Every structure is written in structure tokens, then in C-alpha cells.
């Protein structure tokens, strides 16, 4: 009996230890080159990772986050857009974390794969330039209450780096 009580006490003490947050790896949505990170070439703050293959309507823009997460896909434009459609008109796939941070992927072209779902690296469209964009690329950003988090990709990727779908470009904690 005493052994059982000790064992139960030991097990109940484990409940007081907070569970570690699950980290999620972010991979490139398609093969390409990192064209921007924290700052644009102009020196203006960007706070995200942009990746471009240089080919508009390039097949298969996948969600960047590895691990089964729910994606809310918002389509604001249809058709093939390669040179931007104006601010606020970007197609978006986003996941909102329990702590309020949101991971967003912008600028893809709507395809039959552009719909809400829970998945691990699913296709959401083709590489495009919807929204405030000067050419086809994927924009990967984590933000909360108007503040962009740049720590998730710091030390993982740099501007000018060639990446493929297997390349880790960051980690979300």
C-alpha cells in the first residue's frame, strides 16, 4: 500500500511540470531563392521571408509549416496574377496558434487546392503575385497584434540563399 501511495505521489507531481511547447519546422513552399528577410534591399523593414522561383504560376506552392495544422485559406483574387493586384488583395493561407501568434503565407494563385483544411505541407495554390507585390513569390510571416516576429527564421536562412522544398528556413517555437 505504501509503495502504491509513493508511486501515485510521484506521478501526480509530474502534472505540475509544464508541458514543453511543440516547435514547428518551416520549409520552403517550392524551390527558389530567398529574396528578402528582415529588411528589403531599400533598408525598409520587411519582417518576413520571401522566396521566389522566378516563375509565375509555378506549380505547387505548399504550406511552409511542417506538422498537421489547420489552415484558413482566404482567396481575394482569381486568375493568374504575376505583377501584383494592390494592397489588401493577396491570397492568404494562415494558421492561428493558441498563444495568439499567426503564421501567414501570401501571394499564391488560386487553384483547386485553395481551400481550408488541416494538413501537413499541403498545396494551397501556385506561385503568384497577388496583393502588394512586384513579382511572383511566397511571403512567410509570423505576427501578433501588428508585430512581426523575425526570430523564427534568424540563423536559418539568408537573403540570396537557394532553397528547395526540403530546406528548413526557420523554426516556430
Kindly report the number of other CB atoms within 10 A of residue 108's CB atom. 36
Query: In order along the chain (173 residues), what is the average pLDDT of each group of 10 residues?
Result: 41 41 91 97 95 96 96 97 95 97 98 96 97 95 96 96 97 92
- What whole-number distance in Å separates Cα of residue 137 and Cα of residue 29? 10
Domain limits, the chain:
22-172
What pLDDT is stored for residue 74 in this prediction? 98
Measured distance CA(49)–CA(34) in Å, rounded: 7
The answer to whether the CB of 134 falls within 8 A of the CB of 114 is no
For 112, the grid coordinates are 483547386
Residue that has been written with the C-alpha cell 536559418 in this structure: 156
Tell me the backbone φ, ψ of residue 7, rounded to 5 degrees.
Answer: -65, -45
Please state the pTM of the whole predicted model.
Answer: 0.86
CATH architecture of 22-172: Distorted Sandwich (2.70)
Cα four-point dihedral sign 74, 102, 117, 119: positive
Amino acid at each position: 500500500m505504501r509503495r502504491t501511495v509513493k508511486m501515485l505521489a510521484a506521478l501526480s507531481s509530474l502534472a505540475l511540470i509544464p508541458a514543453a511547447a511543440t516547435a514547428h519546422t518551416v520549409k520552403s513552399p517550392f524551390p527558389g531563392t530567398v529574396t528578402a528577410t528582415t529588411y528589403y534591399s531599400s533598408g525598409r523593414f520587411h519582417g518576413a521571408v520571401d522566396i521566389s522561383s522566378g516563375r509565375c504560376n509555378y506549380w505547387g506552392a505548399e504550406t511552409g509549416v511542417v506538422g498537421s495544422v489547420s489552415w484558413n485559406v482566404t482567396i481575394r483574387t482569381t486568375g493568374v496574377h504575376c505583377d501584383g493586384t494592390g494592397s489588401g488583395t493577396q491570397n492568404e493561407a494562415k494558421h492561428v496558434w493558441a498563444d495568439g501568434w499567426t503564421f501567414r503565407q501570401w501571394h499564391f494563385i488560386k487553384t483547386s487546392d485553395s481551400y481550408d483544411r488541416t494538413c501537413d505541407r499541403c498545396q494551397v495554390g501556385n506561385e503568384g503575385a497577388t496583393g502588394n507585390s512586384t513579382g511572383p513569390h511566397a511571403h512567410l510571416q509570423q505576427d501578433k497584434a501588428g508585430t512581426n516576429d523575425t526570430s523564427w527564421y534568424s540563423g536559418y536562412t539568408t537573403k540570396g540563399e537557394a532553397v528547395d522544398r526540403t530546406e528548413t528556413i526557420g523554426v516556430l517555437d
